[in-house]
Amino acid sequence: MIETCATVRVIEGLHTRPAAQMAKLMKKFGCHIELVYRGKTASAKSSVKLMLLQVKEGEDVVIRAEGDEAQEALDHLVSCLGDPQFGMNMDQAPTVVVADEAPAAPTQSDNGSVVHVCEGLKGIAGSRGTALGPAHIYLPQKLIAPRQVIAKEEISSELDRLRFALAGLESKLSKQSAGQTAGPAAQQDRAILLALIEVAQDEEYVGAIIRGIEAQGDAGAVTLRVGEVLAATFAAMTDDYMRARAEDIRGVTRQLAAALLGQALPDLASVPPGSVLVANDLSAWEFLKVPIANVNGLVCIGGAATSHVAIMARTYGIPAVLGLPLSEAQLQSIQYLAVDGDHGEVIVNPSEAQKTQYQARIQAQAQTRKGLSAYRDIHPTTKDGRQIDIAANLGSLGEIELAHKVGAKGVGLFRTELLFMQGRHLPLEDEQTTVYHQLATAFHPHPVIIRTLDIGGDKPVAGIDFPREENPFLGWRGVRMCLDRPEIFKPQLRALLRAAVAGNIKVMIPMISDVNEVHRVRELVAQCEAELNREGVDCAPFELGIMIETPAAVLQADALAAEVSFFSIGTNDLTQYVMATDRANAQIASLYRTEHPAVMKAIELTCEAAKRAGIWVGICGEAAANPDLIPQFIAMGVTELSMSPASILSSKKIISEL
Ligand code: PEP
Ligand code: MG
């Protein structure tokens, strides 16, 4: 046995990707090799065990190896642990596209077990569009093993059954993974599949099942037990990302146990063309098995506008209504569905007349989409000659193509949060520079407005410790957090200054509520610029603007306008703060109205202050695409509207006809 000590330099420690890659490399050596950390030991050949050690960056571990190639394996492991980037180059973290539609209010449910014909139900608008089709009900039942114990003579055949089931599962997952095409959604799918294959091959997981069978346990029963214990261990971890691995373990366990118990799982792969998929909830793992082209619409009891299933439905453009107030028993009785993803409404078992109505709407939507394409290259001008810039709200580079397709005139809001949320560590200055520069180049010469990090305790980010707050929306978020944490804010400002050499980058600060905040941001920008100049790094100045999202900013708009180059009104937050109405609370959704006179007055005051100071004003909240409000905004003096790419063509049309 040989032994050595090493310090872990891997960024963020041994989380999923480094652990998976390390286990894969170590399996190539014939020896036994293990890591000891804080009194706990894990085989270096098991990614699950390595993850469970929860070794943090900068901590010391002991490595022990014994047997063939022990020295080689040990040296190799030491060098992996010493590499900060180790494991970072496996499949990238998923790119998540978050659409911006606000959820509609759910209403009360019917408590009976059958949903009557033509019943109209209200849930949460998860993904836009209208759909119609026969229901494909997906309600997986709990798997139960009929026997727990086997006879001694059965152990060997039971182990064979396990090996057979594992091989079948691995080959199925590998085939699925190999079949993934390009694109951000497929990349996300592949990353999930690879994680599942890892679990199915894991020494800790499979080893525990084998030991259970050797102790005369039924293969199916043991699998269910081992999977639940392991999933519960992950679910109890403090790290959000690790907790999410519980879902991977449960997904694999279900597949494996079903094969061993000879029970068929409801088959998502066989959803017939033209269906509306109906489920209690769909995990990411389940969603991957659905033949997307066959799904007209999606309806779930669970889920909210920002849940995984909603994000995926929007990524694939499937109209979806979530959070439907129905029981599982009621779901079973559904035969046919009409889905209105714009308003979060569902008609169960619609009448022929209702079907015809929905059919007409679907056709009209398709027709409208076709007709609107004529506006792609139009720079809309009102009949009295005012040109309005229609820009895109984006959250990732993956969405650039969508914006180009509809002829966005630049980017009016690039939310940098995703960049900070998707990784296991804060994005480095170089990484940020590359992203911002690519974005700017993609839209050159049109302006690209990048918003500095706007994040709070409601959306935690790996690498920032947010305190627990009673009211995170009134708490330490956006520019408030950034100003307190220059070690996070300055790399972003430096990256923006470096990317600004592209010539079309503007920067905007969210959640401003005091003039002093603008002064402090400017001081930091000046500091960063001086540092970059001293270091001889290429950079360029950018125009600085602010978002108007708080009543305080509206009431000091004259003073703020004197300090910045532009205003962009964030109506999503402005509405919530003016109306004292949580934008995510469906119960008070009737008060959350941008068209309320109080909010419209705040917008008008902002526009007047901008006019007096001679700066331009835009709108980047959801209301920017509201056909009823666009004429009023333009009348107030707004010259730029920024919105999700899906709304750009119709908004161009509205303005051209004003
Ligand atoms: C807004 O508040 O209107 C806005 C655009 O910002 P977000 O929706 O990202 O808070
Ligand atoms: Mg906002």
- pLDDT at 119 (0 to 100): 61
Q: Which segments of 237-344 are extended strands (E)?
A: 275-279, 295-300, 320-322, 336-340
- pLDDT at 308 (0 to 100): 55
Which atom of ligand 1 is nearest to 576's Cα?
2
Distance 568 CA to ligand 2 centre (A): 10
Sequence-ordered alpha helix ranges (H) in 546-629: 551-555, 557-561, 571-578, 597-613
Which atom of ligand 1 is nearest to 413's Cα?
5
Query: Which residue's CA is the closest to the ligand 1 atom numbered 1?
Result: 570
Query: Which residue's CA is the closest to the ligand 1 atom numbered 4?
Result: 570
Which atom of ligand 1 is nearest to 621's Cα?
3
pLDDT along the chain (658 residues), means of 10: 91 77 86 91 86 85 93 92 75 29 33 50 86 92 88 92 89 73 50 69 87 95 93 76 71 88 81 92 71 90 62 74 84 90 92 94 88 90 90 88 91 90 77 97 98 81 78 93 96 98 98 98 98 98 98 98 98 94 77 94 98 98 91 97 89 92
Identify whether 136 is a catalytic site residue: no
Distance 477 CA to ligand 1 centre (A): 13
Ligand 1, residues 98, 411, 415: which to mutate, most atoms within 8 A of Cβ?
Answer: 415
Task: Say if residue 376 is exposed, middle or buried (CB neighbours under 10 Å; 0-12, 13-18, 19+).
Answer: middle
Catalytic annotation, pick one of 482, 528, 607, 620? 620
Distance 418 CA to ligand 2 centre (A): 14
Identify whether 620 is a catalytic site residue: yes
- Amino acid (1-letter code) at residue 394: L
Distance 573 CA to ligand 2 centre (A): 5
Distance 102 CA to ligand 1 centre (A): 11
For the entire predicted model, the pTM comes to 0.63
Are 500 and 512 in contact by the 8 Å Cβ rule? The answer is no
- pLDDT at 493 (0 to 100): 98
CA distance 550 to 567: 12
Which atom of ligand 1 is nearest to 415's Cα?
9
Ligand 1, residues 620, 626, 643, 644: which to mutate, most atoms within 8 A of Cβ?
Answer: 620
Place of tokens 């299933």: 309
Instruction: Give the HSE-up count for residue 403: Cα atoms under 13 Å, Cβ half-sphere.
Output: 26
CA distance 13 to 355: 55
Ligand 1, residues 394, 451, 454, 573: which to mutate, most atoms within 8 A of Cβ?
Answer: 573
Ligand 1, residues 418, 420, 455, 572: which to mutate, most atoms within 8 A of Cβ?
Answer: 572
Which residues face 329 on adjacent strands? none
Question: CA–CA distance from 461 to each of 453, 599, 602 (Å)?
Answer: 11, 31, 32
Query: Which residue's CA is the closest to the ligand 1 atom numbered 8?
Result: 572
Of all ligands present, the nearest one to the C-alpha of 644 is: 1
Distance 620 CA to ligand 2 centre (A): 9
- pLDDT at 243 (0 to 100): 65
Distance 573 CA to ligand 1 centre (A): 6
3-state secondary structure string, 492-556?
HHHHHHHHHHHCCEEEEECCCCCHHHHHHHHHHHHHHHHHHHHHCCCCCCCEEEEEECCHHHHHC
SS3 10: coil
Which atom of ligand 1 is nearest to 571's Cα?
3
- Amino acid (1-letter code) at residue 221: A
SS3 381: strand
Which atom of ligand 1 is nearest to 573's Cα?
2
Q: Quickly count: other Cβ atoms within 10 Å of residue 139's Cβ.
A: 13
- pLDDT at 332 (0 to 100): 80
Catalytic annotation, pick one of 308, 379, 404, 446? 308
Ligand 1 neighbours (beta carbon < 6 A): 413, 415, 454, 549, 570-573, 620-621
